A and B are shown apart, each in its own frame.
Chain A
């Protein structure tokens, strides 16, 4: 793709060859990943949350103010809610209003490609380009299932840069540079994952102190503590102050509801997948070559592994951070022999970037992205609007689209707003794990219409329920409303 682009701008083949040799591996990888991401852009637009993220961002742009209460649902309207990923939402909204659906795809692709290119770049400092690329590809495959246009992708490069800064400091037995702090400020406004960045300071501090000489330990430890405190303060530089930090905790409090939200579920080993292959290969490699790590690094490895095993969304954290954590210890055994600098030709870098941009522009101009096929019940919502339904019970995945249509939602992807009990009750009701609580929901919230996926058990029960009738169905959604006579009798 990029090579073709080079030909387009008119270099002679001999020059091309020379220039290509000067393109660093990280740029190849980043540009390739970015192009793949954009070409497969529809995959990144299949998450219903993208809808409401953009709506929230647009409302922040329009009102020049960040939200403090919920205005989108009819179940929790007016309840306190803050949007800790406000900056990412603003960026997505701006890119959407500028370029349509190509905007969020390109933005998310840039974030992702930057993170993995940065990873490749850092690995290339210690390993041969081949080894670095293999690791970066494995990391990409592991994370690919979570490549959806949402704030976390914009925070990925920040996370890699931040942890790389901590690892370097720890490897060199010095406190981290204070130039990292602006990264924390950026991260805390982009995505709630910054809490992990704060938490990781402690194990790296432990690692640095563990490896330091006896005489330096106290002073080094104190300087890491100082850095940690500064980072904590930096994480309060948001429109919400330290409330962002508290809000992150509310998501982790979701406990039981998390078990039913796919990305918070534990890793599933029912069929063999990339994660299991990488895990088994890594264990095999460790036992074959006899790899030794220092105890603090072992703790980090096990901690990251535990996070990934217990919540599938943390797999990308493992995939991006484990190579950083292991780079120095492994480079002793597997590092490259020559310490030479990686190729660096400004002309060729510019050429590759230019070619990638041209290819993206050409693709985006001729390709219409189709967002959220399964989460866009457009025709069904038209029917509901015509019936002037006010209180609609629906699957969580339809919440995002309903918000874009200006219809108050029952609930949506903002789990921390609705709370554990509400989510579990609603999930159990819609899945008919508890028929009684489904019937209760219909009455308590004075539901006058439902918008459910065709395979939702509750939708199939409504077909048979006295007082309800199905008025619309397609592949995406089924609409039921109360029968007129019945509702007037009540």
Chain B
């Protein structure tokens, strides 16, 4: 392929990634509170803190009261520790800066990889599309720390496939890092197989078997590298638990299938991409088509995988597209020593100043706070004052409760709670079936509830004798068990737990 010509002026090609990374970093810090809109951030930091404090890794649940002591391992421990350290150093600015730097790093790396292959305009369009698709998932959670690792890993594999070689063994530490940061490393292992086939198709027939064998060995070593975690092989099995959640996955926003009810970035990019392919008559090698359709299927079936598609598709398409849409124009006029022309110097120093300035501003201003709708602070304070021990809570409030040392009924660790528990909680909370709600209240001896103000369960509690509403604000309502309380809204609802009446 055309790879040997690449890299004639590496310094020149660093400018676009630097500027893009700096701008993205600054943009993320400006809108930093958007990254804190996720309730899971609270418990991720709390678990990181727990690991730091106890010096051990969790093997059973110690946070909830419903699953206390059940086996549970934290495959994302390294990311949690990083966030916890950042939080203890700089408050909420710490995790925000860390996540922003990681996201910007991932996209800068992506820009560098495709910038070496494609002309500037095509690369820029692909990058903008990738940012637009991935941006809803820019949250302070472990997966963003795994983003640069994922980009580097796949870029390394694709580079080897383009050249018809085996991947460098220097990639293996990345796999170890990834396996400790986030469960998505399983996907990185799968990709070895798909990209190996692509590599094998790229070489002449006689060399194929040998190359396939070497990729196979690489795959085995990568599998071994992924087991270098505090949990060893168990981490790989834990990733499976999440995929086994079935019906419960459909209840978690980010695991829902792609929704096309409103025109969004994903649909626009999908249609424009298809349109461009039809306009220019673009073609791809067979295995690249297979990988692309696989990524597309993943993104369609689970909206969270759109981020994976956005980050990896440009890497996979870069070399085949370069042959058809126009390669990066040769800048051999700028040999290595001469790159310090004034424009480049200004661009790079501006990027550096921007990064530095924004970091200082972010750390000094201390204006980041998690979203109010996942932070029921006053309500939890009241619950603590009432000595509530067993609180039936909204799925989204579990994170904040853990951070306040209060055991939740449920939180974002869905794989701990399991399919039936999560589905039942949903049925109770959303009043799909009042019988399940009242049965859960009895079975877990609930003494208080912490629900969203508009939650159907909260509305029904107002109509039940034996529950008193003690707190309400814009987002949250708190009920406590109180034998003397009478229903405050007519008509009365009878909470008897009886064998299903139908």
List residues of chain A with CB under 8 Å of any chain B CB.
259, 265-272, 276, 280, 283-284, 286-293, 295, 298-299, 301-302, 305-306, 309-310, 432-436, 439, 454, 457, 460-461, 463-468, 470, 473, 478
Contact = CB atoms under 8 A, between A and B. Distances in A.
Nearest to A288: B289
Given A298-B279, A302-B271, A435-B460, A463 B260 contact: no
Contact of A283 (B262, B267, B274, B491): B274
B280 A292 contact: yes
A463 B256 CA distance: 32
B271 A461 contact: no
16 contacts: A267-B260, A269-B258, A280-B297, A284-B290, A286-B278, A288-B286, A302-B275, A309-B267, A433-B430, A433-B456, A434-B456, A435-B431, A457-B456, A463-B502, A466-B492, A466-B493
A445 to B, nearest CB: 16
B471 to A, nearest CB: 19
Interface in B228-266: 250, 256-263
B434 A461 contact: yes
Nearest to A478: B502
B212 interface: no
A434 B491 CA distance: 15
Contact of B301 (A270, A289, A292, A295): A270
A286 B271 CA distance: 13
Contact of A266 (B261, B434, B496): B261
B278 A291 contact: yes
B501 A470 contact: yes
Interface in B192-243: none
Contacts of A433: 430, 456
Q: Report the 10 A-B pairs with minimum CB-CB distance, sorted nearest first.
A: A292-B281, A435-B459, A290-B283, A309-B260, A269-B300, A269-B257, A466-B492, A266-B260, A432-B431, A466-B491
Contacts of B434: 457, 460-461, 463-464
Contacts of A464: 434, 493-496
A461 B282 contact: no
B457 to A, nearest CB: 9
Contacts of B420: none
Interface string B449-485: 0000010100110010000000000000000000000
A283 B293 contact: yes
Contact of A287 (B284, B492, B495): B284
B283 A432 contact: no
B431 A305 contact: no
Contact of B454 (A267, A276, A306, A434): A434
A463 B501 contact: yes
B283 A284 contact: no
Given A461-B460, A464-B493, A269 B301 contact: yes
Interface string B421-444: 000000000111111000000000
A284 B289 CA distance: 6
A465 B502 contact: no
B6 interface: no
B292 interface: yes
B336 interface: no
Given A298-B278, A464-B494, A276 B435 contact: no
Contacts of A465: 491-494
Interface of B: 250, 256-263, 267, 271, 274-275, 277-284, 286, 289-290, 292-293, 296-297, 300-301, 430-435, 454, 456, 459-460, 463, 489-496, 501-502
Given A270-B301, A287-B292, A259 B502 contact: no
Contact of B279 (A287, A293, A309): A293
B279 A292 contact: yes
Nearest to B271: A302
B220 to A, nearest CB: 30
Given A266-B259, A439-B491, A293 B435 contact: no
A439 B490 CA distance: 9
Nearest to A312: B260
Contacts of A266: 259-261
Given A280-B297, A434-B456, A473 B502 contact: yes
A302 to B, nearest CB: 5
Give the residue among B263, B454, B492, B502 with the most A Cβ atoms within 10 A.
Answer: B502
B271 A306 contact: yes
Nearest to A285: B289
A274 B182 CA distance: 33
B278 A293 contact: yes
Contacts of A283: 274, 277, 292-293, 296
Contacts of B262: 310
Contacts of A280: 293, 296-297
Contacts of B300: 269, 276
Contact of A270 (B257, B281, B293, B430): B257
A1 B166 CA distance: 58
B275 A467 contact: no
A305 B260 CA distance: 11
B270 to A, nearest CB: 8
Contacts of A309: 260, 267
A468 B494 CA distance: 11
B271 A276 contact: no
A436 B460 CA distance: 9
Nearest to B496: A464
B493 A272 contact: no
A432 B430 contact: yes
Nearest to A282: B274
Contacts of A460: 433-435, 502
Contacts of B491: 439, 465-468
A457 B281 contact: no
A290 to B, nearest CB: 4
Given A259-B261, A287-B282, 18 more contacts: A265-B261, A267-B260, A269-B258, A269-B300, A270-B256, A270-B301, A280-B293, A283-B274, A284-B293, A287-B292, A291-B281, A435-B431, A435-B463, A457-B432, A465-B491, A465-B493, A465-B494, A466-B492
Contacts of B258: 269
A333 B492 CA distance: 71
A295 B501 contact: no
B493 A298 contact: no
B261 A298 contact: no
Contacts of B433: 457, 460
A465 B494 CA distance: 7
Nearest to A268: B257
Contacts of B263: 306, 310
A287 B501 contact: no
B80 to A, nearest CB: 30
Contacts of B490: 466
B437 to A, nearest CB: 10
Contacts of A293: 278-279
Nearest to A326: B278
Given A269-B301, A464-B494, A301 B460 contact: no
A380 B433 CA distance: 22
A290 B282 contact: yes
In this complex, the member of B262, B300, B495, B496 whose beta carbon has the largest number of chain A beta carbons within 10 angstroms is B300
Contacts of A287: 277, 282-284, 289, 292
Contacts of B277: 283, 286-287
A435 B293 CA distance: 44
A464 B464 CA distance: 10
A60 B430 CA distance: 44
A284 to B, nearest CB: 5
Contact of B250 (A270, A289, A298): A270
A97 B258 CA distance: 45
A21 B316 CA distance: 49
Contacts of B290: 284
Given A270-B257, A436-B459, A460-B433, A286 B274 contact: yes
A272 B261 contact: no
Given A266-B261, A276-B297, A460-B435, A435 B495 contact: no
Contacts of A457: 430-434, 456
